[in-house]
Amino acid sequence: MALKLRIVPDPVLRKLADPVKTVDAQVSRFMHEMLEAMYTSNGVGLAAPQVGELKRVIVVDVAEEQDPAHAFMMADPEITWRSEELFTYREGCLSIPGQYAEVTRPKRIKLSYTDVNNKRVEMEAEDLLSTCIQHEIDHLNGVLFIDYVSKLKRDMMLKRVEKIQRLAAEEEQGGKVL
């Protein structure tokens, strides 16, 4: 079954995701489905709430040549340390199509998570990988990258997404909706 991306203002994007506890066959299958949805959408990260599931699951692959063998599939990710040094990146989001903003986050992080084989893993990440993981963990807490910009910019971005969605719906219906 193909997963369907949720787009703002879908309320599921603002909810707190529940812990997974154990990565069993069902959760592992879901992680692989998320990875496929992320690749299909040309993303570098995806969180379960973005496909309507309130589970603390994210997938990330920031490599030039995306390959599931190099992807990170994480359940219950938890950042255990953040550097004071910062990194600014022009972020976008599959749930906020076509919108981008400069967001500053810690340059390096340490985290722990449960992998696809139900093993607890600790790792360090920096630069784009760090940013992507932080962005996806934010999703698990109902936080979007647009929450890091001014209210004016956020409102403008949301209006643009609404317009894009409305125009797409009109096109699907073969013209203007009266």
Q: Write down how long the chain is.
A: 178
Confidence of residue 177 (pLDDT cuts 50, 70, 90): very low
Question: What digits encode the pLDDT tens for the residues 1-43?
Answer: 589 999 999 999 999 999 999 999 999 999 999 999 999 999 9
Rounded distance, CA 145 to CA 135, Å? 7
Question: What digits encode the pLDDT tens for the residues 106-146?
Answer: 999 999 999 999 999 999 999 999 999 999 999 999 999 99
User: Can you tell me which residue has the tokens 């996806």?
Assistant: 136
Per the domain annotation, does 178 fall within a domain?
A: no
Domain range enclosing 111? 11-170
CB distance 95 to 9 below 8 Å: no
Active site residues: 136
How many CB atoms are closer than 10 A to CB 39?
17
Per the domain annotation, does 62 fall within a domain?
A: yes
CB distance 95 to 48 below 8 Å: no
162 CB-near residues (< 8 Å, 6+ apart): 9
End-to-end alpha carbon distance in the chain: 33
Rounded distance, CA 129 to CA 140, Å? 17
At 1 the pLDDT is 55
Per the domain annotation, does 1 fall within a domain?
A: no
Number of domains in the chain: 1
**CATH number of 46's domain:** 3.90.45.10
Per the domain annotation, does 54 fall within a domain?
A: yes
Q: What is the pTM of this model?
A: 0.93
Mean pLDDT of the chain: 95
Rounded distance, CA 165 to CA 117, Å? 38
Find the radius of gyration of the CA atoms of the chain.
Answer: 17
Which helix or strand (DSSP H or E) is residue 59 part of? strand 57-60
Per the domain annotation, does 3 fall within a domain?
A: no
In this prediction, what percent of the chain has a pLDDT beyond 90? 87
